[in-house]
Structure 1
Amino acid sequence: MSTLILSLETSSPVCSVALHRDGSLLGQSELRLEKSHSTHLSLLANQLLENCQCTLPELAAVAVSDGPGSYTGLRIGAAAAKGLCFALDIPLIAVSTLQAMAAQVAAYTAGAENTLFCPMLDARRMEVYSALYTADGREVLAPAPLLLDADTLAEQLAHHRLLFFGNGAAKFQPLVADNPNAGFLSSIEPSAITVGILAQAAYERQDFRDVAYYEPFYLKEVYTTTPKVR
């Protein structure tokens, strides 16, 4: 019996959905509009299923980008994924946003086996959410908030070639511009396609999340302020 997995990526301003059967991509759709996730995610998913001539009852699982990333975006993706899984009584799979980004870039990098992959997601000011991975997905440094300065990842850069990408990498580039081991890629965004590829492996391992209690991996507490009373 084939495995049909719908994947949702909402951790960034890009709202992305993908559909895989047994790990092979059937179709993908994305929308690059700020603050569009809540109104367009379900529409994109339903249109994708229709275009691929598939139906919701055929789904074996739903995968969602786990974070870190946009707090609001992650909540929207998690709510949509949990709703589908609950309604269809199918497993929920959560895929690390940073690991998926690293796999996305590693697949198209020459000499990937000699490179460490460092996705960086903007966390405002001079801070990013980041991690380090090998080409085969092994975690070298766990996801964490990094405060960027000239000494950030200095030990790793002294001994390895590092490739930086994601919407936070541009802030780090001027700080290590003279380091020959530092490489940078632009315009790399999280994609539901890679979420779906990693989700297939998770499905085979039966690495599922509790639909009732799942929460995205925000990495940091979300701070809110109360408007001043006039």
Structure 2
Amino acid sequence: MKSLIMNKISIVILSLICVAAISCADHDDPELSPIDTSNVKISAKVDTDPTSSWLSPTEEMTIRVSDVSISAPKGVVLRNINLYNNGQRIMGKPYSGEALEFKVPLNYMTGRINFSVIGDLIQKNHRDAEILIADNIQRLVFNQIPKLDYKAHLNVTVKSVSTTGEEFSQWFDVESDETGVIIPIPEDKLYWTPTSGTASTIELTLGGGADTWSPNSTLESEITGISWNTYKPADPVLKISIPNAPG
């Protein structure tokens, strides 16, 4: 009787092994053709918290993947969504159509980190494949987060011509206030009252620039571009015409 029971257990164990082997072969058999990912398109909304570029090892970062949309041939299924750091898989979760959150403690990370979101694809009678969902989610992790101060400045050229032909031209420099945000321009330098006739407009040429430094570290920083509102020219100079009226 005992021998019969042992034989049954052995048969069950062997059956499980065979099922597992067949399951693995469905996706890992090198003789199977891989999934053609060129026919697979996938997009998703990827949010991060916190959003700041500089983080400390005491913080935790959350990466949320939602609104996943996939276009693929029949039979191709998105099985898992994985999070990679600098090319190494650090965690993964099964995908069921719902939003996924990855919470990453930063206490074992330092320097520049680069997260990628990668999906696992499966298809019957094909080898598994991976597909990139999002990458270049970069952060800098250091024990001390450097503070960056900056000062903006403008070179202002003012020109105008009155109705009687009188010409006006002057230039001056101004710097931002202690906040580094507001750059006050004195009205007595900006507007003009001709000695004869009138001048309804003035032409301004603004040259922009800024200086930046870190008061609490040896970090070197530099300004990489100047923008005027939403306009960012290759040459950081803006030419505009405004009414010759204070205010």
TM > 0.5 between the two? no
Q: Looking at both structures, which has the greater relative contact order when contacts are Cα pairs under 8 Å and sequence separation is at least 6?
A: 1
Task: With the length of structure 2 as denominator, give the TM-score of the two structures.
Answer: 0.20
Higher helix share: 1
Structure of higher CA gyration radius? 2
Higher strand share: 2
